[in-house]
Amino acid sequence: MQIPISLYTSETTQKVVNTTALVDSGAEISCIDWGFVQKHRVPTQRLTKPILAKNTNGTQNSKGRILFSATLYFKVKGLVHQSFFHVINCGTENVILGLPWLQENNPVVDWRMGTLSIDEKTDRSKELRRNVSSVAIEEPTVNLVSPAEKKGINKFMDYEEPEDETI
């Protein structure tokens, strides 16, 4: 099942990328495509220990080993989430929300209608606002998020998506 998401590519800027994510209960990890990461300059962290990446059919992923990860905020069904993604070659998908995301958020899926619903308890928008508002330099103390950026972030956070879209 594919769902529309708004990916917030940085905690300190208002860059948002609208894309789709494949919700895949068979994926042991959540991942983001390497080409998508490069195209949109998504910030990544180097893993301390590389992981061998295998595709669902058991073959080695074309990217070889997983060397990078990204912890990102994104919006699904009007709620903000934060997840850890491994950076790999995802084929035709930009983002795959795997079993870790499904277990954490426990969405209700109506397979007949092709809809996905998520409990509001998983919303992380307040945490995102707090992180964006607290970014500062120590000497002198300067807030790096301008009022215009805060307004843009709040506009992003208050954006209403249609409920229970058919997917």
Instruction: Average the pLDDT over 111-121 and give the result.
Output: 80
What residue spans define the domains of the chain? 2-158
Got the DSSP string for 15-75? -EEEEEEEE-TT-SS-EEEHHHHHHTT---EEEEEEEEEE-TTSPEEEEEEEEEEEEEEEE
The string of pLDDT tens digits covering residues 125-167 is: 555 454 443 333 333 333 344 444 444 444 444 444 444 434 4
pLDDT in tens, 51-104: 887 776 777 777 778 899 999 988 888 888 888 999 998 889 999 999 999 988
Q: What is the pTM of this model?
A: 0.69
CATH 2.40.70.10 fits 2-158, yes or no: yes
